[in-house]
Amino acid sequence: MVILTLNCGSSSVKYQVYDWDAKDVLATGIVERVTQSGSSITHNARGKSDYVVDHECPTHTIAIQLILNTLVDPDVGVISDMSMIKAVGHRMVHGGSSFARSTIIDDEFLAAFRELTDLAPLHNPANLMGVEAARDVLPDVPHCAVMDTAWHQTMPSSSYRYALPHDWYEKHMVRRYGFHGTSFLYNAKRAAVLLGKDPFETNLIIAHIGNGASINAVKNGCSFDTSMGLTPLEGLIMGTRSGDLDAGIIFHMIRRTGMSAADIEKKLNKESGVLGITGKWADRRDIELAAEKGDPIAILAQQMESYRIKKYIGAYYAALGHVDALVFTAGVGEMGPQIRKPATAGLEELGIVVDERKNALAKCRNAELDITGPGSRVKVFVIPTDEELVMTEDAYALMEGTYDVHTNYRYYFEGRDYVNKARAEGLLRDLAKKPWLEEIVARIP
């Protein structure tokens, strides 16, 4: 049984093809520059050479049709025909308070989701375009919505309410929603496995650090607080987003410059973060290279980003009272020892000790790693996230009628014997080049 997952942005469509019976990823890929000139698809299939081809995609429908044509291509494809696809899972960014769980997509759902557009004007319209395009191309299979915000619906009102006029909350839905939910769900379940604990007896701090970044306090296996808010703008310093700031800055800049609301929104979402600090780099890899050469602005960007993460770790430790593990995940979290090191330095009084050597070695996306230092009361893990696997299992369970919210449902990747086959093969290749990785691979007790 094959399940397709789609992550549609305004100008891109990411996809994964998963063989549920074999529990194996068949292919991943992305169509870039959708609705723009110069579109192309990059397709990565197990056991085959990477496939990249230019193809104009003026609409999302054409982009998704291109993906399906590639999947059944006799040379680079991974399925014999489209009838093998039995369900499609869609990443939906902002479900508001209306959707606390994944759900089958129907006309009623789409109408309700459209009402949430104002909450995520940069994300929800693109998600809708992708769903409508996929339903046009694959009308006879169930389409399932997996909400980025659903994981955080367990937060108490003391965590999600803002100190703002009550009618803003009642009439305009202004509250903290949080994002990166599928990533946090996956990491929370896997961290519990690595700890050898019941997930609902586990307290965690999970830092999802990528171009977008947020941090999650997990209490007894459920989201208790998170750094992103009404939108993905609040919280940590990100690639191009500012994160936390004094709201008075907005009014100050409007008075000083005459900027419009749209101008301010663009500055805070697309021209701030580490890009704003450095003036030229949004990619942390570029900043790392510049910092290694002594560039003072690059060094400052790293210091500011790490310090913001450290402040949230301390705050969430206080909120939870007891922490079993600190988890780093996503692109920078998994591959950025230069961010992890200062973000955890000086936390020994909290019982958090990171082994500097292990942290420096921990750059691998094919294994769960343990970088805990001697005497640490809190485990420190680096876990490669797998949002697509959560989407895949939710779609499968919805199709089978077995799905429920995570507090009532056990994911198959929660098993002690769970193996990601593609990553296991990748780890063998990594170990051939870097045998010392073996010593920091996390062991299940």
Catalytic residues: 148
Who's near 424: CB < 8 A, 6+ residues apart? 366
Who's near 320: CB < 8 A, 6+ residues apart? 203, 205, 217, 219, 224
* 398 contacts 3 by C-beta, under 8 angstroms: no
| Residues forming a β-bridge with 42 | 30, 52
* 120 contacts 94 by C-beta, under 8 angstroms: yes
Cα–Cα dist 234/356, whole Å = 30
User: For residue 77, which of 145, 137, 26 has the smallest C-alpha distance?
Assistant: 26
Position 186: which residue type? Answer: Y
Cα–Cα dist 2/117, whole Å = 31
Q: How far is CA 45 from CA 59, 158, 164, 203, in A?
A: 24, 46, 50, 37
* 330 contacts 213 by C-beta, under 8 angstroms: yes
Cα–Cα dist 250/312, whole Å = 23
Structure-block tokens of residue 9: 């942005």
* 288 contacts 274 by C-beta, under 8 angstroms: no
Cα 375 → chain centroid: 31
CA atoms within a 13 Å half-sphere pointing along the CA-CB vector of 208: 27
Cα–Cα dist 230/222, whole Å = 19
Helix (H, G, I), strand (E, B) or coil at 200: helix
CA angle, residues 81, 83, 85, in degrees to nearest 5 = 100
How many residues would you count in the chain?
Answer: 445
Cα–Cα dist 122/266, whole Å = 10
Cα–Cα dist 112/124, whole Å = 12
